[in-house]
Structure 1
Amino acid sequence: MLAKLEMLIALAREQHFGRAAQSLGITQPSLSTGIKQLEDHLGVQLVRRGSRFGGLTPEGQRALHWARQIVGDARRLREEMRFSREGLAGNLRLAVIPTALTWASRLAAGFSARHPNVDFTILSRTSEDILAMLENLEIDAGLSYLDNEPLGRVSTAFLYREVYTLVCAPDHPLASRETVDWGDLDGTRLCLLTPDMQNRRIINHAFMQAGIAPVAKMESNSTVVLVSHVASGGWVTILPEDMAAFLAGGKDLAIIPIRQSGESPAVGLVAAFQEPHTPVLQALLDEAHKISVD
């Protein structure tokens, strides 16, 4: 039954029989058979079928809610039993907003030093992707914004506040300034993260509060690409101070703090709400509290 519930979760996530089967490492006929057997067992139609996947029926949506809960509980049970045998062990899957990747490394390094039998898989994703992946049981936790857009029912552990800096060439007109205002950036040749990133929405809002409509002539979902463009000359970008220091370190680039109006966005660890958390996840939340900086 658990395997068939996982099939339903994968199908709802991928919205395609072939991709769902591939994600599970099974054939498409095996997936179709498993879903049909689940429907026969429950006595309802879960999936609208046609020439292609047509979505879940209302009964399928309700079954999906229970499937996520049952599969999640089963995984937590296995984690509890493994902890009783082996202590903290296994693999922690993290999805992280691009601007928090240096903090993800800091969190994983501290945790691994205390718990060497736990491995990490760290993925770069948007804040919206992180919430969807938590819901679909694709990850154990994420690093994302805590107070800028709705999170839903999750457990959180604050890490830091995102303070922004301008990154530019040393011969840029603003490079000699000790600090800059958002209004000073009007007309600069901006390269920024793509609009699907919450960081970009935060930056757009800061510009609009300053009465500026920002125009990014180059966009990317990679902070490395942004700094590479700045290093090539003519461009400027805006990054959190920690990420700017890491990417621009050792390069002939200037980093200038941007004066903030109001409180900066909070970033932290987010995980699906559980009572109690698995020992591994609870240890990760505890580690986040230890390294947090207010």
Structure 2
Amino acid sequence: MLQMRYLTYLDALARERHFARAANVCHVTQPTLSAGIKQLEDTFGVLIVERGQSYQQLTAEGEQVLAWARRMLADYDSLVQSLHDSRTQLEGQLRLGVIPTALPIVRCLSTQFVEHYPHASLSIQSCTSDAIQQGIDDFGFDAGITYLDNEPLNRVRRYPLYRERYFLVGPPAVKLTHTDSIDWQAAASYRLCLLTQDMQNRRILDARFDEVGVKPAHRMETDSLTTLLSHVRYGGWYSILPGASLSLLTGGSPLSIVPLPTLITDPLIGLIASARDPLPPVTHALFSLAGERDWQQEIEPPTLTT
């Protein structure tokens, strides 16, 4: 007989790509997990997992079963939440993927969520926009906060939050030549520490520089916003940051911050979730709360210091 826990075993195995780790995630022994996978193979009459001395990969048929299993698990969780919420308060875990440059602002939404729904929990993971799309597709995330209009998004519903505005940020006690604003050509001349090119933020900045025909003088890149800010504050580097990230610059000596030109093409940041209906109750609740704030006002930077 097909049991939901066997689908959970398969989902965990596909994510972990290792039998022992998948068993640990599912809080079962490895023989129990292997027996569950074997039961799925017997039920469908196909080989789902290619095995050697260890996990190798899913078969083509296994990938089909996995996609179906993830839909089933998502629908099951949504149904359980709906049935429970009709009798009591909202429960369950909301899994949220967030691009790094939006992490400083997500606290406004996450705090509001747990205050409104004290019996629900929230898991926030920092990842690239591509990973958020993948997480929505394979039901690893219930929702994401990412760019809405710069690179294609597929099979998602969207809720716009704010447009990203950019600033040149320099080390403390440095008087920038441009005090009121700075153009992209001039910003390219500074010694820049930027995010890595797998980040959509970096690809957006590169496109801005390409539009004005210059190459930035960056000599360092990182996939960590914390590392980037550390180099600016303590290492004498400069960077270009969105307004939402400036809230992380409080404390210590004031940094030099100068706005870059605002364009009508400045990227739009927003919430996404699967386009499938109905939305799980926890995801629907998050979208409802998002409509209660002026997000553009939330990301207005602190008083600029030069």
Partner secondary structure for residue 22 of structure 1:
helix
**Which residue of the partner structure matches residue 281 of structure 2?**
279
* RMSD (Å) for aligned C-alpha atoms: 2.0
The counterpart of 2:184, out of the listed 182, 185, 188, is: 182
Q: Deviations over 1:172-205 (max 9, x none)?
A: 4635421111111233211111222111111111
Q: Which moved more, 1:57-66 or 1:75-84?
A: 57-66
TM-score by length of 2: 0.88
**Correspondences of 1:282-293 after superposition (within 5 Å):** 282-293=284-295
**Which residue of the partner structure matches residue 62 of structure 2?**
60
How has the CA–CA distance of structure 1 residues 73 and 171 changed in structure 2, closer, same or farther, with 3 Å as cutoff?
A: same
The counterpart of 1:127, out of the listed 126, 129, 134, is: 129
Alpha carbons 1:147, 1:266 under 8 Å: kept: yes
Take 2:123 and 2:135, find their aligned partners in 1: how far apart are those partners? 14
Gapped regions of structure 2 (runs ≥ 5) = 297-306
Take 2:123 and 2:112, find their aligned partners in 1: how far apart are those partners? 15
Residue type at the aligned position of 2:281: P
Q: Percent identity?
A: 43
Alpha carbons 1:163, 1:264 under 8 Å: kept: yes
Alpha carbons 2:136, 2:142 under 8 Å: kept: yes
**Correspondences of 1:62-141 after superposition (within 5 Å):** 62-141=64-143
Partner secondary structure for residue 61 of structure 2:
helix
- For the pair 1:151 / 2:153, whether they are aligned, the reply is yes
Gapped regions of structure 1 (runs ≥ 5) = none
The counterpart of 2:8, out of the listed 6, 18, 21, is: 6
**Which residue of the partner structure matches residue 299 of structure 2?**
none
**Which residue of the partner structure matches residue 301 of structure 2?**
none
Take 2:177 and 2:227, find their aligned partners in 1: how far apart are those partners? 20
Partner secondary structure for residue 85 of structure 1:
coil
The counterpart of 2:198, out of the listed 181, 189, 196, is: 196
Alpha carbons 1:89, 1:118 under 8 Å: kept: yes
Partner secondary structure for residue 258 of structure 2:
strand
How has the CA–CA distance of structure 1 residues 219 and 18 changed in structure 2, closer, same or farther, with 3 Å as cutoff?
A: farther
How has the CA–CA distance of structure 1 residues 19 and 214 changed in structure 2, closer, same or farther, with 3 Å as cutoff?
A: farther
Take 1:44 and 1:112, find their aligned partners in 2: how far apart are those partners? 43
**Which residue of the partner structure matches residue 247 of structure 1?**
248
Aligned residues: 293
Residue type at the aligned position of 1:114: H
Take 2:294 and 2:31, find their aligned partners in 1: how far apart are those partners? 48
Alpha carbons 2:100, 2:127 under 8 Å: kept: yes
Residue type at the aligned position of 1:3: R
Take 2:210 and 2:20, find their aligned partners in 1: how far apart are those partners? 44
**Which residue of the partner structure matches residue 42 of structure 1?**
44
Alpha carbons 2:104, 2:248 under 8 Å: kept: no
Displacement, 1:137? Answer: 2.8
Displacement, 1:233? Answer: 4.2
Q: Which moved more, 1:81-90 or 1:48-57?
A: 48-57
Take 1:203 and 1:292, find their aligned partners in 2: how far apart are those partners? 25
Partner secondary structure for residue 155 of structure 1:
strand
TM-score by length of 1: 0.91
